[in-house]
Amino acid sequence: MRKPYCDTLVAVEKSKADIRKLLQKYNAANVQLAGEQKILSLRFSLKIRDEQHLLSFSVPTDARVRNRKKRNRNEQSSWRALYWTAKSLVEAIHFKISVSDEVQEAAQESQEPI
């Protein structure tokens, strides 16, 4: 299975700037961003329409890559995945879109396309 955004050409700095811009747009608070060897994680709170939301998620990285070019690509793809994950979750909350694992499980059991 290929890693999401493995072919991205977007620089890490742009993805970080996009994350900051997104969090500012929705007035995120208590932002915690951590980049460790094997994982990038982002945690923050949002207040949308008087509802408080706490979001926390992570994206795996592969710090074991020795080839510099591949390591840079890996870092780019991890940061881009983190940005798109944050954007999709924040906007889902903002637009009141709900997702349920139960719906996904039911669709898989019935083998019918959603």
pLDDT digits over 19-46, tens only? 999 999 999 999 999 987 789 999 999 9
Q: Give the pLDDT confidence score for residue 10 in this predicted structure.
A: 94
- CATH number, domain of 71, equals 3.30.160
Closest listed residue to residue 15, CA positions, set 75, 80, 111: 80
pLDDT (0 to 100) of residue 63: 64
Task: For residue 92, tell me if it sits in a domain.
Answer: yes
> pTM of the predicted model, to two decimals?
0.79
pLDDT score at 100: 67
Residues of the chain with confidence (pLDDT) below 70: 1, 63-65, 99-114
Per-residue confidence (pLDDT) for residue 102, from 0 to 100: 60
Tally of domains in the chain:
1
pLDDT at 38: 83
Q: What is the pLDDT of residue 5?
A: 79
Furthest C-alpha separation in the chain: 48
Residue 70 belongs to a domain: yes
pLDDT at 2: 72
Domain of 71 in residue numbering reads as: 12-110
Q: Residue 101 falls within a domain, yes or no?
A: yes
Instruction: Compute CA 86 distance to the chain's CA centroid, rounded to the nearest angstrom.
Output: 4
Q: Roughly how many angstroms between the first and final C-alpha of the chain, as a whole number?
A: 22
